[in-house]
Amino acid sequence: MIGLKKGRYCARQASSKTDVAAAQNLRARCFGLATDVDDFDDRCTHILIHRTADDALVCCFRMMPLTGATISRSYSAQYYELSALAAYDGKMVEMGRFCIDPDAADPDILRVAWGAMTAYVDEIGVELLFGCSSFAGTETADYLDAFAMLKARHLAPTRWLPRVKAPKVFKYAARLRRKPNAKKAMLRMPPLLRTYLMMGGWVSDHAVVDDRMNTLHVFTGVEIGAIPPARKRLLRAVAE
């Protein structure tokens, strides 16, 4: 059971339908939807992060354990052809529906969230963490430097590379020929994705255009064994 308290925030595992409903309500508000409920919720462990001063829910995400044999049941598999990862023989977990209350912007929230993720990963012996990392909106123009940076430095290893499945995609690795402006790229990179990349994460060679969620997203993987040792120490310091 995940539970930790750091500074102004505490993270815990959902323990009731009321907890899950609170996470669903926060997700709907953050994503601009009337509701955000799906069949995956029943298969996931939900992590909630509250502000200790008033117990307000400020962040949530869900985790679903998988293996190569079951990766086709993941949320991501709706949008990406993941047969290459079916050969992965270690434990996996899909992290999804990550959101932070826009009225509670504080970098410490993301830090505590990663501490909770680290505790979960260590608890069940995960070797690959993956999910969909989202850019706000469905227009690519503002993110060309970010996508160029992903192409230049962060594409998935060929043996694990997700293939195209979704009907609307932006094949940035094939289309972009520009040299990325590093400053512009990092300014436009979503914070969650930026953290994945700092841990040695890799991404798909295309972005899915998700009109329902009003996002562009890339499949993102982090092999736990490849995380730089200094970064691991920082994450585990928060998780303890």
Within 10 angstroms of residue 147's Cβ, the number of other Cβ atoms is 26
**Structural contact between residues 154 and 111, judged by C-beta atoms closer than 8 angstroms:** no
How is the chain split into domains, by residue range?
Answer: 63-239
Please give the pLDDT value at position 239. Answer: 80
The 10s digit of each residue's pLDDT in 108-140 is 999 999 999 999 999 999 999 999 999 999 999
Report in angstroms the alpha-carbon separations of 40 from 55, 122, 211. Answer: 26, 22, 20
- Radius of gyration of the chain measured on its C-alpha atoms: 17
**Under a CB-based contact definition with an 8 Å cutoff, are residues 119 and 129 in contact?**
no
Residues 6+ apart with CB under 8 A from 207: 135, 140, 147, 169, 170, 172, 216, 217, 218
Asked if residue 104 has pLDDT above 80, the reply is yes
Residue with the two structure tokens 């990862």:
85
Per-residue pLDDT tens for 7-46? Answer: 899 999 999 999 999 999 999 999 999 999 999 999 999 9
Question: CA-to-CA distance for 160 and 80, rounded, in angstroms?
Answer: 12
